[in-house]
Structure 1
Amino acid sequence: MAHLHPEAVVLGVRQFGPDTPARSQIGNRLTSALFRAASHQKLRDTQTGLRAFSIYMLPWLVDIAGERYEYEMNMLFACGRAHIPLVQTPVHAVYLDARNSTSHFCTVRDSVRIAKTFLKFSISSLTGFAADYLAFLILIRLTAALPYHVLISNVAARVLSAALNYQMNRMLVFEGRKKASETLLPYAALALGILVGNSILLMLFTNTLGIPAAAAKPLTEVLLFLISLSVQSLVIFRSKKGEGPHV
């Protein structure tokens, strides 16, 4: 299969069935869901160690950060950013016992490593949300006498938190993959789109559904979280075409 796709990374995808240990099935489903949410790519087995690739990819592969299972997940993300196809081919897996005792996978430690990018984005988003929510609660009291004070407070709080969130995502989550001059305007466009959607949802929840503003705000943020993650990962901070290996 690999010789038919020299430009791709070929993944040996395990076929999960009744004999597959529960922790293998649960762990793989979780990481596959996280990978799909962050990259919009559907892989049936993100934890497979059976991977084939061209020798010309080696210099690029050794520069990918991480160790063990973290490296395996980072490799998949890196392929997506560098526009390298991921080809899936089914393989038969043999487990010696129901607990898969020969596996070196540590459920807690390695799950955290695998989900590191998603976790870093979550931390960044939670920090931005905390700043946004705190500013919103303060401003909504200060502007209570003004018409549309909920909308005004939401816009001002979003502008403040967006600046903080941009810097954290650029340097912490996506590790400075692109210069600020390349990402600032696209991020500003995303922030504006999120702000419009955020404000519409917030006004719908408060004015139409009668949900208190303090409760409607976090509900709105949760609904827009994955949209923001996907756009930043796939578009704004995505590596330029041609930054991957030359096959």
Structure 2
Amino acid sequence: METAIIIPSYKPDEKCRAIIDELIASKFPHIIVVDDGGEEEFASFFEDIKAFPEVTVLHHAKNQGKGRALKTAFHYILNENVPVDGVITIDADGQHLLSDMLKIAERMKQKPDAVILGARDFSHKAVPFRSRFGNRFTRVLFRLSTGTVLTDTQTGLRGFPVQHLPLFLSIKGERFEYEMNVLGSLKANNIPIEEVEIETVYLNENKSSHFHPLRDSFHIYKIFLLYGLSGGASFALDIGLYSLFIYFWKEDAPEMFIIFATIAARVLSSLFNYFVNRHKVFGQGSSKSLIRYYVLAAFIMAVSAGSVHLLYNEWLGRGEVVLKVLVDTILFIFGFVVQRAWVFRKEE
């Protein structure tokens, strides 16, 4: 299998040059370096590496992010018909070893249709706390969001068959969130995933990373955050409508006003929640999704009431409010998983 190496590079240093030298010495025929607007002071770096026939340098006039740099390289490979069967993306900070790149290349030969991911061991003592915690947290949310179990969701060492590059060019994202979006698209498009264990290398506590925890984490986790905001807005609407109906119906139907107000408010707020989740949170769904949504809602309501009743009457005998909060928190996460996998699933 002919393989191209892609290196998105922003403000490269001697570690990036060392990687390129190793790749050239190892006879990789296609090394594509993307200059992601690293300012004038880095121009000489890119001019120097252009001298090697194996190296192609693509330029951004200004910094556009890692996701855009990867797309630029994908575009180049497809538009120029570069004679390769697959690409391996690596980081420019020296944290990916040549031996691990060769592992990825070898697995790509064995699994030519699969995306191959380099997986680090985050139990290693050398892993900085923020990286260890961030990976564990992201793994949980990624599994909830996509149903895919991965060891390392933030690895930059990845092998992609060229046949999948047109799909990856259509995926949203310009910065670090793009890599997560690509992973999230694999299961939905029936693309197999393979993981290869690689060395865990962190240089200087990973201070060279351009990953911004707050900004980039928001993009990575935003589907779950949007789901939470949708639920909160629906709850507020439910309470607001209930109060409004109570105000208008209390005098007209004194015996049934609470029941009427509760039912009307819940129906309207749930319709609001359904449409927001379908069009803004998950962005997909069929004509069957409305029926599935209300089947799930009825199930969750029954489980919530039954669980709190059982826990209160049979075991604890106190703390009914706390029990309600705990049970509904678990069901909130359960509801997210079921809505993603069943209610708003992508129809064939």
TM-score by length of 1: 0.80
Q: 1:238 to 1:164 in 2, by over 3 A?
A: same
RMSD: 3.2
Q: Tell me what 1:118 maps to.
A: 224
Q: Tell me what 2:165 maps to.
A: 58
**Deviation at residue 13 of structure 1 after TM alignment:** 0.6
In 2, the alpha carbon distance for the partners of 1:158 and 1:196 equals: 15
Q: Compare 65-74 and 155-164 and name the one that shifted more.
A: 155-164
Contact 1:82–1:239 under 8 Å retained in 2: no
Structure label with greater radius of gyration: 2
Q: Tell me what 2:114 maps to.
A: 8
SS in 1 for 2:153: coil
Kindly indicate whether residue 237 of structure 2 is the aligned counterpart of residue 127 of structure 1: no
In 2, the alpha carbon distance for the partners of 1:110 and 1:83 equals: 27
In 2, the alpha carbon distance for the partners of 1:238 and 1:122 equals: 19
**Deviation at residue 155 of structure 1 after TM alignment:** 5.8
1:22-61 maps to which residues of 2 (within 5 A)?
A: 22-61=129-168
Q: 1:223 to 1:189 in 2, by over 3 A?
A: same
In 1, the alpha carbon distance for the partners of 2:264 and 2:288 equals: 25
Kindly indicate whether residue 159 of structure 2 is the aligned counterpart of residue 79 of structure 1: no
Q: 1:207 to 1:133 in 2, by over 3 A?
A: farther
1:54-203 maps to which residues of 2 (within 5 A)?
A: 54-97=161-204, 99-134=205-240, 157-175=265-283, 177-179=284-286, 181-201=287-307, 203=309
In 2, the alpha carbon distance for the partners of 1:201 and 1:139 equals: 29
TM-score by length of 2: 0.58
In 1, the alpha carbon distance for the partners of 2:255 and 2:311 equals: 21
In 1, the alpha carbon distance for the partners of 2:345 and 2:271 equals: 19
Q: 1:89 to 1:156 in 2, by over 3 A?
A: farther
Q: Tell me what 1:245 maps to.
A: none
**Deviation at residue 160 of structure 1 after TM alignment:** 3.1
Q: Compare 42-51 and 7-16 and name the one that shifted more.
A: 7-16
Structure with the largest fraction of helix: 1
Letter in 2 for 1:12: G
In 2, the alpha carbon distance for the partners of 1:47 and 1:86 equals: 14
In 2, the alpha carbon distance for the partners of 1:116 and 1:62 equals: 21
Contact 1:15–1:93 under 8 Å retained in 2: yes
Structure with the largest fraction of strand: 2
Unaligned runs of 5+ in 2: 1-106
In 2, the alpha carbon distance for the partners of 1:203 and 1:154 equals: 20
**Deviation at residue 56 of structure 1 after TM alignment:** 1.0
Match of 1:18 among 110, 120, 125: 125
SS in 1 for 2:203: coil
Q: How many residues align?
A: 234
SS in 1 for 2:274: helix
Letter in 2 for 1:117: I
Letter in 1 for 2:231: S
Q: 1:144 to 1:37 in 2, by over 3 A?
A: farther
SS in 1 for 2:176: helix
**Deviation at residue 206 of structure 1 after TM alignment:** 7.5
In 2, the alpha carbon distance for the partners of 1:121 and 1:173 equals: 6
**Deviation at residue 86 of structure 1 after TM alignment:** 2.2
**Deviation at residue 25 of structure 1 after TM alignment:** 1.1
**Deviation at residue 240 of structure 1 after TM alignment:** 3.1
**Deviation at residue 129 of structure 1 after TM alignment:** 2.6
Letter in 2 for 1:45: D
Letter in 2 for 1:185: I
